[in-house]
Amino acid sequence: MSDRDLMEGLLLSVKGAGDLYLHGTIESSTEKVRSAFDSSLTRSLQMQKQIYDKMSQKGWYAKTNVEQQKICRTQQKFAQG
């Protein structure tokens, strides 16, 4: 298994954990539980950013540039409702 494969797996795991923490935060029944999930979500987002930055530096995370015209069409589509 390559370093890239390991980083991709780690990124997917952190993203999955972030999703769970987000839902935990939203569905919390007490402020103490909400705070615990919220703190975990924040740390998860920070880890995701660090992993993404490292992968991007190594050229392992492909970025796709979108034409401005496509962005405008999408905005118009959702603005129309």
Which amino acid appears at position 35 of this protein?
S
Among 2, 6, 1, 4, which residue's Cα sits nearest to residue 59? 4
- Cβ–Cβ under 8 Å, residues 21 and 40: yes
The model's pLDDT over 65-76, given as tens digits with 9 standing for 90+, comes to 889 998 899 898
CB atoms within 10 A of CB 11: 19
CA–CA distance, 39 with 36 (Å, rounded to integer): 5
Would you place residue 16 in the very low, low, confident or very high pLDDT band (cuts 50, 70, 90)?
very high
- Res. 33: pLDDT tops 70: yes
- Res. 61: pLDDT tops 70: yes
Give the model's pLDDT for residue 30. 97
- Cβ–Cβ under 8 Å, residues 34 and 28: yes
The model's pLDDT over 2-12, given as tens digits with 9 standing for 90+, comes to 999 999 999 99
